[in-house]
Structure 1
Amino acid sequence: MGKRDLLKDSMKGGLNSLLSSTTPSYTEDKPAKVATEKETAVHCNFLINKSIHTRMKYLAIDKNMSLKDIVNEAMKEYLDKYEKK
């Protein structure tokens, strides 16, 4: 086998075979998420204060949740409180 054939064989996997994840995958250590109803997600673009965003990010990390889940939970609680009035 020549150099050319060796190069072709090593490139068969494409770019994905050259790149690997730098973070370990811990599938067993993650806590199970509570089953929730699946709703259609909608993209929203809005501005919030940087301090609020930072606090929400740290809360999401602390609770092992995504920022999207934190925003959804906060907005649901706010709307539930507002609608009770």
Structure 2
Amino acid sequence: GLNGLLSPTSTTKKEEKKVTDAASEKSAKEKAVHCNFVIDKSIHTRMKYLAIDKNMSLREIVNVAMREYLERNEKR
């Protein structure tokens, strides 16, 4: 179910664990909100597999991707 997509996956790579910890720390400082939106199935699938490869949750992958997008595109 949905909880399986949002919980961390099991891989033992130390480097990926550091990335996961950094992403978790940053998101732990901010209040989370539930957000429903529609994305292409192919993007969702690719993000799920990326989360598995990086031992991250889908939520962490989405947050990292959105932060990077905003950093590149926001007008300051």
TM (normalized to structure 2)? 0.65
Q: Which residue does the alignment assign to 1:73?
A: 64
Q: Which residue does the alignment assign to 1:50?
A: 41
Within 1, Cα distance between the matches of 2:33 and 2:54? Answer: 23
Q: Which has the larger radius of gyration?
A: 1
Letter paired with 1:65: M
TM (normalized to structure 1)? 0.58
What SS does the aligned partner of 1:36 have? Answer: helix
What SS does the aligned partner of 1:65 have? Answer: coil
Of Structure 1 and Structure 2, which has the larger fraction of its residues in helix? Answer: 2
Higher relative contact order (CA 8 A, sep 6+): 2
* Structure 2 unaligned spans of 5+: 1-11
Question: How many residues of Structure 1 are paired with residues of Structure 2 in the alignment?
Answer: 57
Give the root-mean-square deviation of aligned CA atoms: 2.1
* Structure 1 unaligned spans of 5+: 1-28
Alignment deviations for residues 1-58 of structure 1 (CA, whole Å, 9 cap, x no partner): xxxxxxxxxxxxxxxxxxxxxxxxxxxx584623623110000000000000000000
